[in-house]
Amino acid sequence: MTETTTKTRRLVSLGMLCALAYLVMLVGRIPLVIFLKYDPKDVIIVIGGFLFGPSASLVISLVVAVIELSVSDTGIIGCIMNAVSSCAFACTAAWVYSRNRTLKGAVTGLIAGVLTVTAVMLAWNYFLTPIYMGYPRETVAAMLLPIFLPFNLIKGSINAAITMLLYKPVVGALRAAKLAPAADLGSVDLGSAGMMTSRTVVLGAAVVIAICVAACIILW
């Protein structure tokens, strides 16, 4: 396979992932509390990062955030916050996984991504929410721990769990279409995990999602 062909297929794959991330954002948005909505686009963005590296997550995050302006009422500040949120989660997870392309590396990366996006969005909400939502800063500060903290933890955890469920079938389909790189011979690639690992992943992801749904019901 020539270098040009490889680059072309990578661009096609990234374009498909951008389109898919935008689509799942449109159909998967769920209002949770005040103006905060859950959406699953970060699942697609982090899958792209696991496949092609953290730079791919960065590109997809930026492209989708800009396109999302067409359906968002929060303007350029909302666009920036969407990009920052997706990058904080997906780029962090993809970078950690790129250093250790195993199931353990993927789980560690996703946990790091959840913690990073939670911390980053607490700061961004404190500084920017008063500007684009018109709330007094004191009101926003009072909402950080009871609302913004659990929201970002829950959103990130659900997306991390769904990523673990979908990564193998999505990557398998892309590899079958020759739109994704083959598994590294020197590592236990997440997309090639064995049956026992698959069962463990499904059970763990289901437990995480159940806990997050229960937390949403209790909190909101």
168-219 per-position pLDDT tens digit = 888 888 888 777 777 653 444 555 555 446 788 889 999 999 999 999 999 8
* CA–CA dist 177, 158 (Å, integer): 28
- The region of weakest confidence among 15-24, 130-139, 177-186 is 177-186
The domain defined by 8-219 carries CATH number 1.10.1760.20: yes
pLDDT, tens digit, for every residue of 65-85? 999 988 877 778 888 999 999
Provide the 3-class DSSP secondary structure of residue 8.
helix
Local structure of residue 68 (DSSP, 8 states) = G
Average pLDDT on 129-157 reads 91
What pLDDT, on a 0 to 100 scale, did the predictor assign at position 197?
62
Report which DSSP code applies to 29: -
pLDDT given for residue 1 in this prediction: 57
Least confident residue range of 5-14, 99-108, 137-146: 5-14
Element housing 38 (H / E): strand 36-38
> pLDDT higher for 169 or 115?
115
Domain ranges for the chain:
8-219
**What's at 93, amino acid-wise?**
A
9 pLDDT exceeds 90? no
Question: In this predicted structure, what is the pLDDT of residue 196?
Answer: 47
In degrees rounded to 5, what are phi and psi of residue 38?
A: -85, 140
Q: Judge whether 87 and 61 are in contact, CB under 8 Å.
A: yes
What are residue 115's phi and psi, to 5 degrees?
A: -65, -40
Residue 56 has pLDDT above 90, yes or no: yes
Q: Which of 5-9, 11-15, 123-127, 153-157 has the lowest mean pLDDT?
A: 5-9
Run of H or E including 32: strand 30-33
What's residue 95's pLDDT?
97
In the prediction, which pLDDT does 2 show? 67
pLDDT digit string (tens) for 23-52? 999 999 999 888 889 999 999 999 999 999
Identity at 100, one-letter amino acid code: N
